[in-house]
Amino acid sequence: MKLQVLTTLAAIVAVGLAAPAAEASARGHTTSVQGSGGKGYTRSTATARTSTGAASTRSTQTNAGYGATSTRSSTYGGGSYSGSSQTKFNNGASISRSASVQNNGDGTASYSASRTGVNGQTANVSGTVSYSGAPK
Protein backbone atom coordinates (compact mmCIF):
# COMPACT_ATOMS: atom_id res chain seq x y z
CA MET A 1 0.00 0.00 0.00
CA LYS A 2 2.76 2.49 0.93
CA LEU A 3 4.66 1.68 -2.26
CA GLN A 4 1.47 2.23 -4.27
CA VAL A 5 0.99 5.65 -2.65
CA LEU A 6 4.60 6.62 -3.40
CA THR A 7 4.41 5.47 -7.02
CA THR A 8 1.14 7.36 -7.49
CA LEU A 9 2.71 10.48 -5.96
CA ALA A 10 5.72 10.07 -8.24
CA ALA A 11 3.51 9.86 -11.31
CA ILE A 12 1.46 12.90 -10.28
CA VAL A 13 4.54 15.02 -9.73
CA ALA A 14 6.12 13.80 -12.93
CA VAL A 15 3.08 14.62 -15.04
CA GLY A 16 2.84 18.04 -13.40
CA LEU A 17 -0.65 17.80 -11.96
CA ALA A 18 0.33 19.76 -8.85
CA ALA A 19 -1.98 22.57 -7.75
CA PRO A 20 -1.13 26.09 -8.93
CA ALA A 21 1.42 27.95 -6.86
CA ALA A 22 -0.06 29.75 -3.86
CA GLU A 23 0.77 33.28 -2.87
CA ALA A 24 3.09 33.65 0.11
CA SER A 25 1.21 33.69 3.40
CA ALA A 26 1.67 32.98 7.09
CA ARG A 27 -0.76 32.43 9.92
CA GLY A 28 -0.92 31.07 13.42
CA HIS A 29 -3.30 30.40 16.26
CA THR A 30 -3.07 29.57 19.96
CA THR A 31 -5.83 28.08 22.11
CA SER A 32 -5.62 27.62 25.86
CA VAL A 33 -8.19 25.58 27.78
CA GLN A 34 -7.94 25.74 31.56
CA GLY A 35 -10.06 23.87 34.07
CA SER A 36 -10.29 23.58 37.80
CA GLY A 37 -7.39 22.27 39.86
CA GLY A 38 -4.76 23.45 37.38
CA LYS A 39 -5.86 21.03 34.66
CA GLY A 40 -5.70 22.24 31.09
CA TYR A 41 -3.72 22.45 27.89
CA THR A 42 -2.41 24.90 25.33
CA ARG A 43 -2.41 24.20 21.61
CA SER A 44 -0.65 26.36 19.03
CA THR A 45 -0.24 26.22 15.27
CA ALA A 46 1.82 28.23 12.82
CA THR A 47 1.89 27.86 9.04
CA ALA A 48 3.85 29.60 6.31
CA ARG A 49 3.36 29.06 2.57
CA THR A 50 5.22 30.24 -0.47
CA SER A 51 4.90 29.50 -4.18
CA THR A 52 7.49 26.72 -3.81
CA GLY A 53 6.76 25.20 -0.41
CA ALA A 54 5.16 25.23 2.98
CA ALA A 55 6.14 24.78 6.61
CA SER A 56 4.06 24.29 9.74
CA THR A 57 4.47 23.71 13.45
CA ARG A 58 1.84 22.32 15.82
CA SER A 59 2.25 21.96 19.54
CA THR A 60 0.01 20.65 22.29
CA GLN A 61 1.18 20.96 25.89
CA THR A 62 -0.74 20.01 29.04
CA ASN A 63 -0.35 21.72 32.39
CA ALA A 64 0.85 18.34 33.71
CA GLY A 65 3.89 18.43 31.41
CA TYR A 66 2.71 16.05 28.69
CA GLY A 67 2.78 17.08 25.07
CA ALA A 68 4.29 16.99 21.64
CA THR A 69 5.52 19.37 18.97
CA SER A 70 5.30 18.51 15.27
CA THR A 71 7.05 20.27 12.41
CA ARG A 72 6.42 19.69 8.71
CA SER A 73 7.96 21.19 5.62
CA SER A 74 7.74 20.70 1.89
CA THR A 75 9.21 22.14 -1.26
CA TYR A 76 7.99 21.60 -4.79
CA GLY A 77 8.39 22.87 -8.30
CA GLY A 78 10.21 22.04 -11.50
CA GLY A 79 8.98 18.45 -11.46
CA SER A 80 10.13 17.64 -7.94
CA TYR A 81 8.69 17.33 -4.45
CA SER A 82 10.41 16.96 -1.11
CA GLY A 83 8.72 16.78 2.27
CA SER A 84 9.53 15.90 5.85
CA SER A 85 7.83 15.66 9.21
CA GLN A 86 9.12 15.27 12.77
CA THR A 87 7.27 14.93 16.06
CA LYS A 88 9.07 15.38 19.36
CA PHE A 89 7.40 14.27 22.58
CA ASN A 90 8.07 15.84 25.96
CA ASN A 91 9.54 12.56 27.23
CA GLY A 92 12.39 12.92 24.72
CA ALA A 93 11.13 10.42 22.14
CA SER A 94 10.71 11.46 18.52
CA ILE A 95 9.47 10.10 15.20
CA SER A 96 10.19 11.37 11.71
CA ARG A 97 9.55 10.69 8.05
CA SER A 98 10.58 12.16 4.72
CA ALA A 99 9.82 11.63 1.05
CA SER A 100 11.00 13.00 -2.27
CA VAL A 101 9.97 12.57 -5.90
CA GLN A 102 11.86 13.77 -8.98
CA ASN A 103 10.74 13.84 -12.61
CA ASN A 104 13.71 12.46 -14.53
CA GLY A 105 12.54 14.01 -17.80
CA ASP A 106 12.62 10.72 -19.70
CA GLY A 107 9.19 9.30 -18.87
CA THR A 108 10.30 8.07 -15.46
CA ALA A 109 10.22 9.46 -11.95
CA SER A 110 12.43 8.55 -9.00
CA TYR A 111 11.13 8.41 -5.44
CA SER A 112 12.52 7.77 -2.00
CA ALA A 113 11.03 7.75 1.48
CA SER A 114 12.24 7.00 4.97
CA ARG A 115 10.71 6.70 8.39
CA THR A 116 12.24 6.57 11.86
CA GLY A 117 10.23 5.27 14.81
CA VAL A 118 10.44 6.07 18.51
CA ASN A 119 12.77 3.11 19.02
CA GLY A 120 15.23 4.48 16.44
CA GLN A 121 14.53 1.83 13.82
CA THR A 122 14.35 3.12 10.27
CA ALA A 123 12.56 1.96 7.16
CA ASN A 124 13.51 3.12 3.67
CA VAL A 125 12.06 2.64 0.21
CA SER A 126 13.16 4.01 -3.15
CA GLY A 127 12.75 3.29 -6.81
CA THR A 128 11.86 4.51 -10.26
CA VAL A 129 8.51 4.32 -12.01
CA SER A 130 7.48 4.84 -15.62
CA TYR A 131 4.57 7.04 -16.55
CA SER A 132 2.79 8.21 -19.67
CA GLY A 133 1.45 11.63 -20.47
CA ALA A 134 4.67 13.51 -19.82
CA PRO A 135 4.43 17.28 -20.22
CA LYS A 136 5.80 18.48 -23.53
| Alpha-carbon gap, residue 112 to 37, rounded angstroms | 49
pLDDT of residue 9: 44
Higher pLDDT, 73 or 24: 73
In the prediction, which pLDDT does 2 show? 42
Using a pLDDT cut of 70, give the percent of the chain over it.
80
Q: Is the pLDDT of residue 13 over 70?
A: no
Give every strand in the sheet of 94-103, ordered side by side: 25-34, 40-50, 53-62, 67-77, 80-89, 94-103, 108-116, 122-130
| CA 49-51-52 angle, 5° bins | 90
| Per-residue pLDDT band at 133 (split at 50, 70, 90) | low
Burial class (CB in 10 A: 0-12, 13-18, 19+), 48: middle
Instruction: With CA atoms as reference, report the closest residue to 31 among 59, 65, 69, 64.
Output: 59
- pLDDT of 97 reads 97
pTM, entire model: 0.75
* pLDDT score of 14 more than 80: no
129: number of Cβ within 10 Å: 19
Give the mean model confidence (pLDDT) for residues 74-87: 95
Q: Tell me which amino acid residue 123 is.
A: A
64 vs 1 pLDDT, higher one? 64
- pLDDT tens track for 88-130: 999 999 999 999 999 999 989 999 999 999 999 999 999 999 9
pLDDT in the model for residue 122:
96
Contact criterion met (CB below 8 Å) for 46 and 28: yes
User: Exposed (0-12), middle (13-18) or buried (19+): which is 65, by Cβ within 10 Å?
Assistant: exposed
